[in-house]
Amino acid sequence: MSTEVRISQNTAILLEHARGKGLSDEVILEAVRSGDTTSLDTVSEEHFTYEDFLSYAQEHNEPLEQAVREGYRITFNTRNGLKIWLEKAFGLQSDRDFQVGEGVVSGLSLTAEQTRLLEQRLAPNWVIAESVNTAESHELTLKLRALA
């Protein structure tokens, strides 16, 4: 990324939810450009709705188009928000694929590409505290920066 694009945790979760449900970046970009969330609404679920997605981003000066095209960094992660983002971004399930504790995420196994994305997108209040590389994956422990 030439300049770091920052978006809220909720925006990032909704973006990754749409991607995880099969919407292409082109479909997402068309919704952003046109201001019409009809295509996004097709993947809405109880806690993942798009009615305020575009207006929130506009109101908070979040460059959605650039975030979709170039990537982004989350401005701030809560523990539960990070858990949900990991589930949506990488198709994981907490308690099966990783554990979440007070200020820590452990047992997270990601590919090299997934680890690179995590490094780019993880909010500055969290750090990768431990990384053990195996032939197939990176075994990671994430911690709140204040506890690292």
State which of 47, 74, 101 marks the end of a domain: 74
Exposure class string for 109-146: b at 16+ Cβ within 10 A, else e: bbeeebbeebeebbbeebbbbeeeeeeeebebbbbbee
Q: How many domains does the structure of the chain reveal?
A: 2
pLDDT of the residue at 1: 42
Q: Is residue 35 part of a domain?
A: yes
Q: Is 109 part of a structural domain of the chain?
A: yes
What is the pTM (predicted TM-score) of this model? Answer: 0.94
Q: Does the pLDDT at position 67 exceed 60?
A: yes
Residues 70 and 86 both lie in one domain: no
**Residue 94 belongs to a domain:** yes
Quote the domain boundaries for residue 119.
79-147
Burial tier of 24 (Cβ tally within 10 Å: 0-12, 13-18, 19+)? exposed
pLDDT tens-digit map of 112-133: 999 999 999 999 999 999 999 9
Q: Where does the pLDDT of residue 148 fall: very low under 50, low under 70, confident under 90, or very high at 90 and above? A: confident
pLDDT at 51 over 60: yes
Give pLDDT, residue 65: 96
pLDDT of residue 24 exceeding 60: yes
Q: Verify that 25 and 57 share a domain, yes or no.
A: yes
Q: Which pLDDT belongs to residue 118?
A: 98
Residues 70 and 93 in one domain: no
Q: Which amino acid is at 38?
A: T
